[in-house]
Amino acid sequence: MKLVKFVALLSIITINIAFANDFGSVKTFNSGEIYYEKAIKEEMVDKLGKYLIDTYFFDGTPRSVQLRDEGISYTLKFIVSDSLLTDKTYLKQVRYFTYQLSDYVFDNTPVDIHLASTYFITKKVVKFLRLGNKIEVGNDDIFYLPEISREKADAFINYLKGAGFLTGDGKAILIETVEEIFNFKYPIDAGYENNAEYIDIVKQFADQISKEFLDNGNIVIYLTDIYFDELRAISNF
């Protein structure tokens, strides 16, 4: 998946300057503040600052975030209004950004996002979204979880190329195996999950993959939104 703008994260405000020293060192990027523990290298903070500018989160509006190093993961705290704590669409976006932050900023180290009050007091934790390893094939991104070997992922990529599915037009797919069932997930445009003609094509594709790639094994094709959340499942069994 390509870089998604952070502009979707709304209602984030700056902290009270009188309490600033309580939250660690601070660096400013386009009117946005990153508070961080002294043990965190400034190069990492600069990389995060650039990312937040590139994704239009630090857009010149005063905003504050706090970065903490938890040892095996990072915590990034955002100040949000209470109304967003139960907004399902917003929380789904935030969960996806945990992956994107890990991928673009933190060298694939897991990142949890804490939605917090004005003084960085955590109100809700959004855990890291695990998408597994990533292979970039031109403009296409292929994610595979640890139970899939790199060799099998490469073989499936070659199969999808031969089948005309991967064409370099910016697709994202995720593959995994659950209880010996091969799962193939990919985002679609809204509405196609209810298109009978399209569903019939997907069903034929599932049968084709089973016969030609999986030695007649079981497969489920999941049609998803851009966050890999299921819209519809089609199987060959």
Q: What is the DSSP letter of 98?
A: H
pLDDT per position in the chain (237 positions), as tens? 444 444 445 444 554 444 555 688 899 999 899 999 888 999 999 999 999 999 888 888 888 899 999 999 999 999 888 888 999 888 988 998 999 999 999 999 999 999 998 888 999 999 999 898 999 999 999 999 988 999 999 999 999 999 999 998 999 999 999 999 999 999 999 899 999 999 999 999 999 999 999 999 999 999 999 889 999 999 999
> Whole-angstrom distance between the N-terminal and C-terminal Cα of the chain?
29
User: Over the Cα atoms of the chain, what is R_g?
Assistant: 20
List C-alpha distances in Å: 80 to 89, 94, 96, 115: 15, 12, 17, 6
**Contact in structure between 188 and 175 (CB atoms under 8 Å):** no
Crossing angle (nearest 10°) for helices 88-104 and 42-54? 130
- Across 179-216, the runs of DSSP E, i.e. the strands, are 181-187
